[in-house]
Structure 1
Amino acid sequence: MRPRFVLPAAFSVAAILLLVSCNRGDLPGKKQLESEQVQASPVAPVASSKVVEELPGAAVSPLTVEQRLEDFDYMWKIIEENYPFLEVNKRLNGEDWLANKEEYRNKIAAVKTDDEFFRRMRFVLSRLNNGHTNFLSKEEYPWYLNTYVQAGFGYEPWINVFQQPNVLARYNQKPLAEQQSPNESNNDINSGEAGSQTGKTSGNVKKVIIEPDQIAYLGMRSFEGSLMEMDSSEIRDFLIEVKDYKTLILDIRGNGGGNSSYWRNNMVPLLINKPITYNTYSLYRGGEYAEAFMQARWLTGGLLPIANIKDEQMPNIPPEATTMFKDYNKNVDIVTPYQSVGFKGEIYLLVDSSVYSSAEGFAAFAKGTGFAMVVGGRTGGDGLGTDPLVAALPNSGYVFRFSLQMGLNSDGSCNEEVKTVPDVEVDPDTSKPLLDQPAIKKVLELAASQ
């Protein structure tokens, strides 16, 4: 079954979604990066927890030095013209990525093997310090392709990149026409539909009655799209059970994201009793490479010249907004109740630095609209916008992803830079038993004072 996007009855304006799984995790430190033993991040979900990453390309002819440099220059141009967070990287990490071009290029020229080239290129992208920007390993390729195929209409440019002949050769894959149907081969996606029919649970949802008739807890470790179908009935049943409680704790600590439809469909419409309007902004560099992707996702029709953004009267807009970007759009989400359980109590959302991508989008929504009081530590960021773009290097066929747009919060602050600062900051540690965790203790204290 294809991932569900927006339920028409629940949303007056279709929201831009982050479809594919994303997880910032802990970006490698400088010492680790200098050794270039960098793991691709984020890693797509896999069936086994003990997967040894495979480097793509064992069956293709070795690249020449000229081919490697041509691939490097191709990647560099795409990032230079399309990537939104170059100045953010300077401010947050002291990394002037563009200034290091010759240093990186010389290192690429010195590599001896394709595997070394792949690792070196992955190192170069890792210096952008963004969890949506990375090269894909051989193990990750099928999962991403299946995800785009399942998404269907609007994702043709993504699928086309994965089906380029040089990409298929590099990742040792067959064209889609020669493959088994994704519906038959992707057990993760099918398991959600089957689970909802058999009563099985994914193990992703944690439900606790902390105090009968008073305080309930609902935790979700992932917003993975393949879990939506299975988790939806479990979440709905629990929310019905606790609809008359005074306090509901939603916990997304450690949640690296997935599909924003997870929280937009499975939780928010069930918990609100009147429409909520939420405004955000997306800024685009205007690079040529992004055009086909933006057209496929209907992002070009509502674009405004970046000069107009001054009329939005946002106090915290980044200084490079009007100099590095060409266009922007204003995203107006009107979220309406759908199958609401009639909950009237207080909602608290627990977050930490691992909250990223679509989970970050939920945190930003909760704080920006007052849907919930956000408690814990500052989040991971990059949660406003659409799917990362993908590109294939012309000679090697290696595929990389990168963030498309700069998402701005309603006050103009860059979500990737500022992230979501909790309403109540407290140690978000999850290592202790639930009731001994500082964030839980703080929520219980706040609930008692209501």
Structure 2
Amino acid sequence: MKEWLEDFNHLYDFIEANNAYLPLKERTHGYDWLELKQNYIERIENATYNEDFLVILMDAIQALQNRHSCVMFPESISYYHSYYKNMYPFCKVFSDDVLKASEYWKSIFECCYDVKYCCKFESLIIYEKGDYVVHHQTDSSEKLIGGRLIVKAVNGIQIDDAIKGCFEVDYIDWDFQRNKSYVWMISPRTFGKNALFTLEDSEGSEIDMSFCCEKDYSIQPYKYPELPLDFKIWPEKNTCYMNVQTFDLSIDGYSKAFRNFYKQIVDYEHLIIDIRGNTGGFYSTWINNIVLPLLSKEEKLQFYLVFKTDEYINCFREYYDFTTNVPKNTLDFLPPEVHEEDYNIYDYSFSFYPIYKTTFNGEIILLTDNVVYSAAEAFTSFCKQTGFATIYGTTSGGDGITPWPLYYVLPNSKIVIQLPSAMGLDHLGNANEEVRTQPDVFFESDFGDYNELIEYVLSII
């Protein structure tokens, strides 16, 4: 227990000194993460096994409510150990000792992750246009509980109030249209396998019931195209379309396909770029394969990075050569905490130049949703700031203005924690993780109807 407590105290001190998002998350989620510490300490003092300690760590990191923050999979450590072998300061994190410890933690992590995340109800309960709607996955489920039902309460607590307390077990998103917190899907981890739901049918009648559970290894409930890249052309609409499901480096292998497609569409009037469901990857992927080939003039993208002033994070910042300090009085919409002395702002700007003499000169439309994140969010923000594309869909997912993850290894267990390294700001000083990127044309599709937004765009162009 002594080593567990030592590790946990190190973790809390590290996050307090290096994580730029703590006040922001207190503002958006209504609780101070630092004040949760005593509860975790008491849980550790009552823990018996390493599995117990790991689950407490997972809960604490989940409570940070950032999709870049996690306890790293031990299975991935060998890759990072090899990749960063000669790169200081990363090699200090992914050391030989950490690699050796990861072998021990693999089976424990898999067991804890499986219990915590890999389970779903027989019926999907999806947040859809302000309500949690029950979608039947089997005929038996539909026969048992009838037609369309919405969740009104869980365990006797009004559902919107209950959601606010799920910060240790699920990612709590924000509905900008309705100004309330929500989770994408209610699963057994949200309120427990035996949660009692109060459901309301279309006629206003209510019923209390629980749902059967089953194993499930999917991360989120939405269904997206399986191909990483797809192209379509509608000649009768003078419109072309491409769907890009990821910005990881695998997409660079399709660079020739991108170029051939752009040659075909030079004379078309409209190009739809669909990145719904794209959780990111690398800036270079969207820059090299989308922006540069389609640019007709020079563009500048102005981002900023806010770092805490602790020695640990600054060692990583200096490695990436972020040295151009930006005066705080030059940005009008800074989060209030950034004015404090332990935050510094650095320039993170990009200039882009056209690479083709003849290129597509029509209207570009970008389709987004709440899953769009990280590097995909950065592309969305680029489109908004520069006017490169008109954005249709729903608010994006955030945390796109960030250069690399920050890693920290716990001194005794050698477990590695991943966190965002900086708070990203747009050209006005807004925190991207907080305000996201708002669409120019808001459109909410029905759950499961992926083509609805595409058909809407085609109907109005």
Q: Does 1:162 align with 2:185?
A: no
Relative distance call for 1:341 and 1:138 in structure 2 (3 A) is: farther
Is the CA contact (8 Å cut-off) linking 2:294 and 2:360 kept in structure 1?
A: yes
Q: Which amino acid aligns with 2:229?
A: V
Q: Which amino acid aligns with 1:274?
A: K
Relative distance call for 1:281 and 1:433 in structure 2 (3 A) is: closer
Which of 220, 244, 262 lines up with 1:220 in the alignment? Answer: 244
Q: Which has the higher strand share?
A: 2
Q: Does 1:282 align with 2:282?
A: no
Q: Which residue of 1 aligns with 2:325?
A: 303
Is the CA contact (8 Å cut-off) linking 1:253 and 1:428 kept in structure 2?
A: no
- Structure 2 distance, partners of 1:274, 1:414, is 28
TM-score, normalised with respect to structure 1: 0.72
Q: Which residue of 2 aligns with 1:420?
A: 437
Q: Which residue of 1 aligns with 2:351?
A: 334
Q: Which amino acid aligns with 1:114?
A: N
Q: Does 1:240 align with 2:254?
A: no
**After superposition, where does 1:358-373 map in structure 2 within 5 Å?**
358-373=375-390
Q: Which residue of 1 aligns with 2:234?
A: 210
Which of 12, 16, 26 lines up with 1:80 in the alignment? Answer: 16
Q: Which residue of 2 aligns with 1:46?
A: none
Q: Which residue of 1 aligns with 2:395?
A: 378
After TM superposition, give the deviation of residue 206 of structure 1 in Å: 1.1
Q: Which amino acid aligns with 1:156?
A: Y
After TM superposition, give the deviation of residue 143 of structure 1 in Å: 4.6
- Structure 2 distance, partners of 1:267, 1:420, is 19
Deviations 1:214-268 (A, max 9, x none): 101100111112x133121111211111121100000100000011111011110
Deviations 1:342-368 (A, max 9, x none): 111000000000000000000000001
Q: Which residue of 1 aligns with 2:45?
A: 109
Relative distance call for 1:212 and 1:241 in structure 2 (3 A) is: farther
Deviations 1:362-384 (A, max 9, x none): 00000011000011000110000
After TM superposition, give the deviation of residue 341 of structure 1 in Å: 4.7
Alignment length, in residue pairs?
Answer: 340
Is the CA contact (8 Å cut-off) linking 2:243 and 2:275 kept in structure 1?
A: yes
- Structure 1 distance, partners of 2:26, 2:315, is 29
Q: Does 1:440 align with 2:457?
A: no
Relative distance call for 1:370 and 1:215 in structure 2 (3 A) is: same
After TM superposition, give the deviation of residue 446 of structure 1 in Å: 3.8
Deviations 1:14-65 (A, max 9, x none): xxxxxxxxxxxxxxxxxxxxxxxxxxxxxxxxxxxxxxxxxxxxxxxxxxx1
Is the CA contact (8 Å cut-off) linking 2:248 and 2:281 kept in structure 1?
A: yes
Larger Rg: 2
Is the CA contact (8 Å cut-off) linking 1:239 and 1:341 kept in structure 2?
A: no
- Structure 2 distance, partners of 1:139, 1:405, is 26
- Structure 2 distance, partners of 1:364, 1:429, is 25
- Structure 2 distance, partners of 1:113, 1:266, is 49
Q: Which amino acid aligns with 2:94?
A: F
Q: Which residue of 2 aligns with 1:122?
A: 58
Is the CA contact (8 Å cut-off) linking 1:269 and 1:340 kept in structure 2?
A: no
Runs of 4+ in structure 1 deviating by more than 4 angstroms, as ranges, are 143-146
Q: Which residue of 1 aligns with 2:215?
A: none
- Structure 2 distance, partners of 1:428, 1:231, is 29
Say which SS state the counterpart of residue 267 (structure 1) adopts. Answer: helix
Is the CA contact (8 Å cut-off) linking 1:352 and 1:428 kept in structure 2?
A: no
Q: Which amino acid aligns with 2:422?
A: Q
Is the CA contact (8 Å cut-off) linking 2:69 and 2:420 kept in structure 1?
A: yes
Say which SS state the counterpart of residue 156 (structure 1) adopts. Answer: coil
- Structure 2 distance, partners of 1:254, 1:99, is 34
- Structure 2 distance, partners of 1:279, 1:137, is 34
Identical positions, percent: 31
Q: Which amino acid aligns with 2:411?
A: P
After TM superposition, give the deviation of residue 213 of structure 1 in Å: 7.3
Q: Which amino acid aligns with 1:440?
A: I
- Structure 1 distance, partners of 2:260, 2:100, is 47
- Structure 2 distance, partners of 1:240, 1:423, is 28
Say which SS state the counterpart of residue 350 (structure 2) adopts. Answer: strand
- Structure 2 distance, partners of 1:361, 1:143, is 26
- Structure 1 distance, partners of 2:246, 2:273, is 13
Tell which deviates more after alignment, 317-326 or 110-119. Answer: 317-326
After TM superposition, give the deviation of residue 144 of structure 1 in Å: 4.5
**After superposition, where does 1:346-357 map in structure 2 within 5 Å?**
346-357=363-374
Say which SS state the counterpart of residue 342 (structure 1) adopts. Answer: coil
Q: Does 1:270 align with 2:304?
A: no
Which runs of no fewer than 5 residues in structure 1 stay unpaired?
A: 1-64, 174-201
Relative distance call for 1:424 and 1:386 in structure 2 (3 A) is: same
Relative distance call for 1:433 and 1:376 in structure 2 (3 A) is: closer
Q: Which residue of 2 aligns with 1:250?
A: 273
Is the CA contact (8 Å cut-off) linking 1:349 and 1:374 kept in structure 2?
A: yes
Q: Which amino acid aligns with 1:309?
A: K
Is the CA contact (8 Å cut-off) linking 2:237 and 2:458 kept in structure 1?
A: no
Which of 73, 78, 103 lines up with 1:137 in the alignment? Answer: 73
Q: Which amino acid aligns with 2:312?
A: Y
- Structure 1 distance, partners of 2:81, 2:281, is 15
- Structure 2 distance, partners of 1:293, 1:442, is 45
TM-score, normalised with respect to structure 2: 0.70
Which runs of no fewer than 5 residues in structure 2 stay unpaired?
A: 105-225
Q: Which residue of 2 aligns with 1:230?
A: 253
Q: Which residue of 2 aligns with 1:67?
A: 3
Relative distance call for 1:143 and 1:350 in structure 2 (3 A) is: farther
Q: Which residue of 2 aligns with 1:21?
A: none
- Structure 2 distance, partners of 1:346, 1:137, is 42
Say which SS state the counterpart of residue 364 (structure 2) adopts. Answer: strand
